[in-house]
Structure 1
Amino acid sequence: MSEDIYAKPDLTKKVRFQTGEKDENAVVFENTDVRIYDNYMPQGSTPPKLQDSTTEDQLQTNSANEPSGKKNVVRPAVMFLVLLCLLLLAVVIVLVVLWIQEKSLSDNQTTERDELQTRYDEMERLNDNLTRKTNRLEGDIDLLMVIQINLTKQRDELQKQLEMSFCPDPWMRFDNSCYFSPTMEKNWFDSKAYCEIQNSTLVIISSLNEHKFVRSFPSPVWIGLSDEEKEGEWKWVNGSVVTETYWGNNQPDNNKNEGNENCALNVHGIWNDLSCNKNNCFVCEKLLK
C-alpha cells in the first residue's frame, strides 16, 4: 500500500473524481483508487520542514506588510513636504510683494525727495534774489533819505532866503530890512520884548536914509537906543555904540523931573531921551540877508 502511495504517477492516465464525498485536498486519477494529496512528495525527496515553511510564510507576510507601513510613513512626509513648499512659496510671494511695495515706496520717496530738493533750491534762489533786491531797495531808501534830508535843508534855506528877501505882511521893506509898527503902546522894555518875540529888534538906525524912513511912521515911537547900562553911554539893543545921532536941541537932557530918562524916543525925526516906563508906540526891525 505504501509502495503505491509513493510510486511515480503515470501522467498519461486520465484523472477523474469519484462520486460521493470528495476530499478538497485529494486528486483522484481515473480507473484507480489512489488518492494524491497536496503533501505528496516523490520518492527519494526529503519532506520540507514545518519550521522552514512557517518561516517562509512569515517572511511572505512581513514582505506583504512592509510596503503598507512604508506607505503609511511616506505619505505624511510627502504631505508635509508639499505643505512646507507651499509655505515657502507663500513666504517668497509675500517677500516679493513686500519688496515690490518697499521699492515702490522707496522710488516714491526718492521722487518726492527730489521734488522737495528742487523746490528748496528754487526757494533758495528766490530768497537770494529777494535778498539782493531788498539790499538794493535798502540802499535806494538810504539814498532817498539822504536826498530828502538835503532837499529839506535846501527847502529851509530857500524858505529863509524867501523870508529874508520878502517881508511878510504887514511888514514893510526898506533896503535890507523889514519894519513893522504895531498900533499898541508899550513901555520901552515891553516893546523890546515884543520885537524879540517876532524875531526882530527895536529899530536900529544906522544911516540918514533909514532915519528918514523911520520918520514916516506915526510919532512918537521907541527906538532901540538906551543908556541903561551906563549913564551917558548910549548903545543900540544889539550892543553897538551909537555913532550917528539925531538928537533935538539940548538932548539928551536926562530930565530929573521926569525920572531917569534912559531910553530914546523918535518924535518926527528928532530923538529925545525919555523915561523907559512911559508907554509909546514902537518900531520893530528884521534884517534881511
Structure 2
Amino acid sequence: MLCLIGVCYVSTESDNSGKIFRVTTVCLGLLCVLLLTAIIVQSVYYNITIKDSVKKWNNLLQSFSLYKTNATTEIDQLQTKLSVIEKHVQEEWRYFESSLYFLSTEQKTWDESRQDCQNREADLVIINSEEEQRFLYKLNMRVWIGLTDKDEERTWKWVDGTVLTTGYWGSGQPDNSGSHEDCAEIFIWGKKPLESWNDLNCETKLNWICEKMLNNP
C-alpha cells in the first residue's frame, strides 16, 4: 500500500499477475485439449484408413489367388481338350465347334450305324445349327444322321429323344415313300446344304457320321 498526501493507494499488480496467469493457464489447457483431440481424431482416421487399406489388400490377394486358381484350371482343361482332340484326329475323327465327328468308310443300316457309334462312345450326329449342317454337307457324302420317326410317324426325333424343331429337308421331303422311310440322311443334291435331308428306309445301307461332344471324351 502506498500513501501520498494522506491518501493511500492499494497496489493491484499482484492481482493482475494472478489473473493473467490463470487466463494463460486456461488457454494452455484448452490448447492442450484441442491438440489432444486433434491427435485422437487423426489417430482414429489413420487407424480406419490403415484397416481399410489392409482389407482392400487382402481382397486383392484373394482375387489374385482365385484368378490364379481359375487360370490354372482353365489351362489344365485346355490341355486335356487338346490331348483328346489330338488322340481322336489320329483315329480319323474331325473337330468342329466343340464336337468330334467320325465319318465311316463302310456302309450299314441305320441301326447298325448307330450301334457302331455307340461302340465308339458316341452316337449318330445331332445337328444343332446351320453352321454344323454346312460343315457336314461339305463332307460330300450321303450319310445317316441321328434323326428318325420310327416311334411315331411324322414326329421326327433325334437320338437323344429331343423333337426336331429346325430341319434342312430337301424339296418335298420327308415324303415317307412306300410308307417305310423312317430314318434321315444327308443327301448331296443341287448344291443346297440347307435343303439336303431326305427320309429313307432304315434298312438301306449308307455311310454314317458319329458325333462325340468334347466335354464327354
TM range (shorter): 0.5 to 0.7
**SS of structure 2 residue aligned to 1:232:** coil
Instruction: Answer with 1 or 2: which has the greater Rg.
Output: 1
1:86-141 deviation digits (Å, cap 9, x = unpaired): xxxxxxxxxxxxxxxxxxxxxxxxxxxxxxxxxxxxxxxxxxxxxxxxxxxxxxxx
Distance 1:249 1:167, change over 3 A: farther
**Alpha-carbon shift at residue 160 of structure 1 (Å):** 6.1
Indicate which of 86, 110, 113 corresponds to 1:191.
113
Give the whole-Å Cα distance in 2 for the aligned partners of 1:199 and 1:232: 29
The CA RMSD over aligned residues, in Å, is 1.9
Indicate which of 275, 280, 283 corresponds to 2:201.
275
The residue that corresponds to 2:36 in the other structure is: none
The residue that corresponds to 1:284 in the other structure is: 210
Distance 1:178 1:230, change over 3 A: same
Indicate which of 101, 115, 125 corresponds to 1:203.
125
Whether the aligned pair in 1 keeps the contact of 2:183 and 2:199 (CA below 8 Å) is yes
Give the whole-Å Cα distance in 1 for the aligned partners of 2:81 and 2:94: 17
Of the structure 1 ranges 161-170 and 187-196, higher mean CA displacement relative to structure 2 is found in 161-170
Give the whole-Å Cα distance in 1 for the aligned partners of 2:197 and 2:159: 16
Whether the aligned pair in 2 keeps the contact of 1:228 and 1:262 (CA below 8 Å) is yes
Report the number of matched residues: 131
| Within-5 A mapping of 1:37-116 | none
Provide TM-score, normalisation by structure 1.
0.43
Relative to its length, the structure with more strand (as a share) is 2
| Within-5 A mapping of 1:85-164 | 161-162=81-82, 164=84
User: What percent of counterpart residues are identical?
Assistant: 40
Give the whole-Å Cα distance in 1 for the aligned partners of 2:81 and 2:111: 30
Q: Does 1:233 align with 2:155?
A: yes
Distance 1:204 1:264, change over 3 A: same
Of the structure 1 ranges 165-174 and 218-227, higher mean CA displacement relative to structure 2 is found in 165-174
Q: Which has the higher contact order (CA 8 A, sep 6+)?
A: 2
Whether the aligned pair in 1 keeps the contact of 2:85 and 2:95 (CA below 8 Å) is no
1:197-250 deviation digits (Å, cap 9, x = unpaired): 001111110000000000122321000000011000000001111111000111
Whether the aligned pair in 2 keeps the contact of 1:167 and 1:173 (CA below 8 Å) is no
Whether the aligned pair in 2 keeps the contact of 1:166 and 1:173 (CA below 8 Å) is no
**Alpha-carbon shift at residue 182 of structure 1 (Å):** 1.3
The residue that corresponds to 1:220 in the other structure is: 142
Distance 1:206 1:158, change over 3 A: closer
Structure 1 runs (4+) greater than 2 angstroms displaced: 157-167
Give the whole-Å Cα distance in 1 for the aligned partners of 2:139 and 2:127: 14
Distance 1:167 1:240, change over 3 A: farther
Distance 1:163 1:230, change over 3 A: farther
Q: Which amino acid aligns with 1:286?
A: K
Give the whole-Å Cα distance in 1 for the aligned partners of 2:78 and 2:119: 22
Give the whole-Å Cα distance in 1 for the aligned partners of 2:79 and 2:150: 37
Which runs of no fewer than 5 residues in structure 2 stay unpaired?
Answer: 1-76
Which runs of no fewer than 5 residues in structure 1 stay unpaired?
Answer: 1-156
Provide TM-score, normalisation by structure 2.
0.56
